Amino acid sequence: MTTRPHQVFEDLARLGALLSQDIDTRLREECGLSLNGFRVLQTASGRAPFCRVQEIADALALSVGGASQAVDRLERRGLCVRRSNPRDRRSSLVDVTPAGHGLLDDATLVYADALDALVGTPLAEPELGELARLLGVLRVSVGPESRLAPAG
């Protein structure tokens, strides 16, 4: 039986949606944080001491407007702050607050546990490595690499 690209795409899209929904539910229930909010905090934290909204958009394959709205929601909760970029007034810099770092620490544990249960348990290490390699091949072929870089 021949595997068709259409079938692979549908499986990837459905699996991605199901994994995202499950992890989002766990993060909301245990931390009061959406998966998108978690990913934005994680990205901004990883680029400390500050991160441009454009960098968040690029890292998470979001529009700049979508990334900006996500930052707005986190800022209203006191999880990050945004200030004008002194080098480029057209952009703003995002910094994660101490409260944001505390929540991110808790959410990272929930996220890791969810991934272990949903992906790490069903697949052994050699399978995970092969899947990561194959997804990397697809990611490069889709390009641009900067927008689809693997998380972490």
pLDDT digit string (tens) for 141-150?
A: 887 654 445 5
The mean predicted confidence, pLDDT, of the chain is 90
Residue 112 lies in a domain: yes
Angle at 92 between CA 33 and CA 61, to 5 degrees: 55
Q: Is residue 27 part of a domain?
A: no
Q: Residues with Cβ < 8 Å from 142, sequence gap 6 or more?
A: 148
In one-letter notation, the amino acid at residue 50 is F
pTM for the complete prediction? Answer: 0.85
Residue 76 falls inside a structural domain:
yes
- Residue 36 belongs to what domain range? 32-125
- How many helices (H) does the chain have, and how many strands (E)? 6, 3
Instruction: Decide if 61 is inside a domain.
Output: yes
Question: For residue 43, what is the domain's CATH number?
Answer: 1.10.10.10
Instruction: Report the percent of the chain where pLDDT is more than 70.
Output: 93
- Which band of pLDDT confidence, cut at 50, 70 and 90, is reported for residue 89? confident
The percentage of residues in the chain with a pLDDT greater than 90, rounded to a whole number, is: 74
- Based on the structure, what is the number of domains in the chain? 1
Whether 1 is covered by a domain: the verdict is no
18 lies in a domain? no
